[in-house]
Amino acid sequence: MAEYKCFKCGNEIKSEDLKKRFKCPHCDSKIFFKPRRKVKVVKAE
Ligand SMILES: [Zn+2]
Protein backbone atom coordinates (compact mmCIF):
# COMPACT_ATOMS: atom_id res chain seq x y z
CA MET A 1 0.00 0.00 0.00
CA ALA A 2 1.58 3.17 -1.13
CA GLU A 3 1.02 6.47 0.49
CA TYR A 4 1.73 9.75 -1.13
CA LYS A 5 2.27 13.25 -0.04
CA CYS A 6 1.00 16.29 -1.77
CA PHE A 7 3.83 18.30 -3.19
CA LYS A 8 1.96 21.53 -2.73
CA CYS A 9 0.40 21.37 0.75
CA GLY A 10 2.30 18.42 2.22
CA ASN A 11 -0.77 16.50 3.31
CA GLU A 12 -0.68 12.74 3.17
CA ILE A 13 -2.86 11.12 0.57
CA LYS A 14 -3.77 7.48 0.50
CA SER A 15 -3.49 5.62 -2.76
CA GLU A 16 -7.16 4.75 -2.43
CA ASP A 17 -8.04 8.40 -2.64
CA LEU A 18 -6.06 8.75 -5.81
CA LYS A 19 -7.99 5.91 -7.38
CA LYS A 20 -11.18 7.90 -7.06
CA ARG A 21 -9.69 11.21 -8.04
CA PHE A 22 -6.16 11.79 -9.04
CA LYS A 23 -5.78 15.01 -7.16
CA CYS A 24 -5.17 16.24 -3.67
CA PRO A 25 -8.42 16.41 -1.66
CA HIS A 26 -7.01 19.37 0.23
CA CYS A 27 -5.71 21.70 -2.42
CA ASP A 28 -6.57 20.04 -5.77
CA SER A 29 -2.92 19.70 -6.64
CA LYS A 30 -1.95 16.90 -8.98
CA ILE A 31 1.67 16.65 -8.02
CA PHE A 32 2.62 14.00 -5.49
CA PHE A 33 5.65 12.27 -4.17
CA LYS A 34 6.31 9.21 -2.10
CA PRO A 35 7.53 10.12 1.38
CA ARG A 36 8.72 6.57 2.02
CA ARG A 37 11.41 7.07 -0.51
CA LYS A 38 14.44 8.28 1.32
CA VAL A 39 15.84 11.49 0.08
CA LYS A 40 19.53 11.57 -0.31
CA VAL A 41 21.13 14.50 1.33
CA VAL A 42 23.83 15.95 -0.76
CA LYS A 43 26.36 18.06 0.96
CA ALA A 44 27.29 21.08 -1.03
CA GLU A 45 30.51 22.67 -0.07
ZN1 LIG B 1 -2.50 19.26 -1.38
| Domain ranges within the chain, ordered by starting residue | 3-33
40 CA → ligand 1 middle, Å: 23
45 CA → ligand 1 middle, Å: 33
pLDDT at residue 1, as a whole number? 57
44 CA → ligand 1 middle, Å: 30
Task: Tell me the pTM.
Answer: 0.64
Q: What is the pLDDT of residues 3-41, one digit of tens each?
A: 889 999 999 998 888 888 889 999 999 999 887 756 566
Residues measured by CB to lie within 5 Å of ligand 1, the ion: 6, 8-9, 24, 26-27, 29
pLDDT at residue 45, as a whole number? 78
DSSP state of 24: -
39 CA → ligand 1 middle, Å: 20
Please name the residues in contact with 5: beta carbons below 8 A apart, sequence gap of 6 or more. 11, 12, 13, 32, 33, 34, 35
